[in-house]
Amino acid sequence: MSEQDYSGKWIALRNNKVVSSAKDFTDLIKNLKPTEIPSLTFAKIPQRGTVCVM
Amino acid sequence: MITVKYDTTPPLGHPKITLSLFHKDILKHSVSCLVDSGADCTTLPSSMSPLIYGFDVCKMPESFLKRLGAVLNESECFCGDKINSVKLPLMVGFDKFTFPININWVDNANAMPLLGREDFFDCFKIELDGLRQQVIFYPNLEHIEKQKSKFDFNKINNLIARLKIV
Distance CA B71, CA A30 (A): 29
pLDDT tens digits for B116-144?
999 999 999 999 998 999 999 999 999 99
Q: Which of A5-14, B58-67, B103-112, B140-149 has the highest mean pLDDT?
A: B140-149
Query: Under an 8 A CB cutoff, do A54 and B114 touch?
Result: yes
Q: Which residue of B has its CA nearest to A39?
A: B29
pLDDT of residue B74: 78
Among candidates A26, A41, A52 on the partner chain, residue whose Cβ is nearest the Cβ of B18 = A41
pLDDT of residue B166: 44
The answer to whether B70 and B57 have CB atoms below 8 angstroms apart is: yes
pLDDT tens digits for B36-55?
998 999 999 999 999 999 99
Distance CA B43, CA B117 (A): 10
pLDDT of residue B118: 94
pLDDT tens digits for A37-53?
999 999 998 776 666 55
CATH code given to domain B2-160? 2.40.70.10
Binding-site residues on chain A for chain B (CB distance < 8 A): 1-2, 5-7, 10-11, 13, 24-26, 29, 37-38, 40-46, 48, 50, 52-54
Query: Under an 8 A CB cutoff, do A54 and B30 touch?
Result: no
pLDDT of residue A53: 53
Nearest 10 degrees: CA dihedral of A17, A22, B79, B81?
-130
Distance CA B98, CA B50 (A): 21
Residue A31 distance to chain B (closest CA, Å): 14
Q: Does B37 touch chain A (CB under 8 A)?
A: no
pLDDT of residue B88: 94
pLDDT of residue B29: 96
Q: Where are the domains of chain B?
A: 2-160
Residue A10 distance to chain B (closest CA, Å): 8
Nearest to B31 by CA among B13, B51, B60: B51
